[in-house]
Amino acid sequence: MLSTQPPPTDEYPSAYADYVGRVPGGIDVVEVLARQLEETSGRLAGLPEARGGFRYAPGKWSVKDVVGHLSDVERIMVYRALRFARGDAAPLAGFDEDAYVPEAGADTRSLANLIGEWVAVREASLAFFRGLPPEAWARRGVANGNPVSVRALAYVVAGHEHHHLEVLRTRYRLWD
């Protein structure tokens, strides 16, 4: 099954290599996404609301910004996967995450609300990936000028979440 084999490097742009590399091989990426849903929502839900506005340095994103960013990027990556899985050959535009974060207004929302949104986004992503026919995982399209496969996008979603949880742990010092 393609969802259990990490994508080869010709299935994604080099900018995604770190994210793809964070997902263990030999494990179904859908199971990784499901496990992240439980683990990440639990970790985030354990944070006090007062920590939501914390920034580890001036000009850096708040904890709330990071959680909102996780939802935004997952939506975009899964939208790309949807288009490509359905055989849509139209190239898709890129996006500027640094421009999205201030426009999202995450700091005006409660941390619990942002976590609830991320959970809903992840549940929708899981429903999508679980429903893919086997042949759809290998389909490719072009996003931000780069070819990418549906399989690679699933790995990017999982690896992106892992990356930001690590940032929250190390730079924000939220967990041991």
Is residue 144 in some structural domain?
yes
The widest CA-to-CA distance across the chain, in whole angstroms, is 47
| Burial label, 118 (beta-carbon count in 10 A; 0-12, 13-18, 19+) | buried
Is residue 118 in some structural domain?
yes
**Residue 127's domain spans which residues?**
2-8+20-50+63-170
Q: Which amino acid is at 91?
A: P
Is residue 117 in some structural domain?
yes
Q: Which amino acid is at 132?
A: L
Is residue 33 in some structural domain?
yes
Is residue 14 in some structural domain?
no
| Tally of domains in the chain | 1
Which residues in the chain show pLDDT less than 70?
Answer: 1
pLDDT one-digit tens code per residue, 78-104 = 999 999 999 999 999 999 999 999 999
Is residue 35 in some structural domain?
yes
**Residue carrying the six token digits 């290599």:** 17
CATH code, 71: 1.20.120.450
Q: Note the pTM of the prediction, 2 decimals.
A: 0.96
